[in-house]
Structure 1
Amino acid sequence: MPSTFLTALLLTTFAGLATTIGSVIGIFYKEPGPKYMAFTMGFSAGVMVLVSFVELLQQGIKSIGFAYGHIAFFAGMGLMYAIDVLIPHNYIMEEHDHSEKHKHSEVAIKNKLQKASLFVAIGIGIHNFPEGMATFAGALKNIDVGIAIAIAIAIHNIPEGIAVAVPVYAATGSTKKAF
């Protein structure tokens, strides 16, 4: 029994620490500019969507069946779209007209990046708790299930690390804070 507990704990730790791999990728360039940020954030989003379709949807289908798995998956996507539409938010590099004179100060952009990074980090922290619970519980029940969940979550956590590290690094210039 203790070895099962330890194995579950190690798998959960492995999945969670995969975020640090993303952080290392995120701080690869010395001075990340808007193009690098756009690329890394787009890449991160693409990988997360791919993992959702390839791994998480498949696990849902295995767990609760084809119809309910798809319904739950696409209901989640619909909920995320509704939240995006209904909750007001600003984009960091949002386009706007220049009818009024104003400056695009680096300080203002860096402040937006820091604020966005904080919200992403909080969201990921909240999001990672059930991931850890699922990995741990899955590994306790069946080691093969635990390994599959840990691998899927580890792959998913790498782009999460990028999504947090790049804006923090761009805003602060500190690899320690981004890591």
Structure 2
Amino acid sequence: MCPVFAGGKPERDTRSKWYLSETEWKDSVFPNYCTGWLYISTPRTANRLVKMAPTEDFLWIDDVWVTGYLAAAANIKHINLREYFTMMWEKAVMLKSAQNDEIYHNDIIASPTGRQREIAEVLTKNAERCFKAKCYNNIYKTKPADKESMAAQELLNRVLPTYLPL
């Protein structure tokens, strides 16, 4: 289980730190793979990946190699958690801070923090608050049927991209 990246292409610009030569990766796209920030696995699945590693060519981009290339070779299917993930800490703080027990919000379980301890502390504090209060969101409750909650979520979905690209 992870946020799945699909259709990723190898970087062919030699000036990039992510540059991959045709020798390192011949295909024009990567297999679907997980972000390194979040993936959840059972011990059995992890063991299958470990056993597959010595039989396959190594790729130094570990997210692509382990959760993409090795997973595909082991016939492991991803469960996409993309809706619970954002790559923008600003969006994560906004979403977590807006959570409450009355208005439905979509929640996330992971985001980067920009290596800022304060951001991590704010996210943790709000996650703990929501855990205790069982906030009205996609983690603790089912999607609402009432028009007011749905309208509030739709408004947030329209306004948020104005301030933060999704």
Report TM bin, short chain. under 0.3
More helix per residue = 1
TM-score, length-scaled by structure 2: 0.25
TM-score, length-scaled by structure 1: 0.24
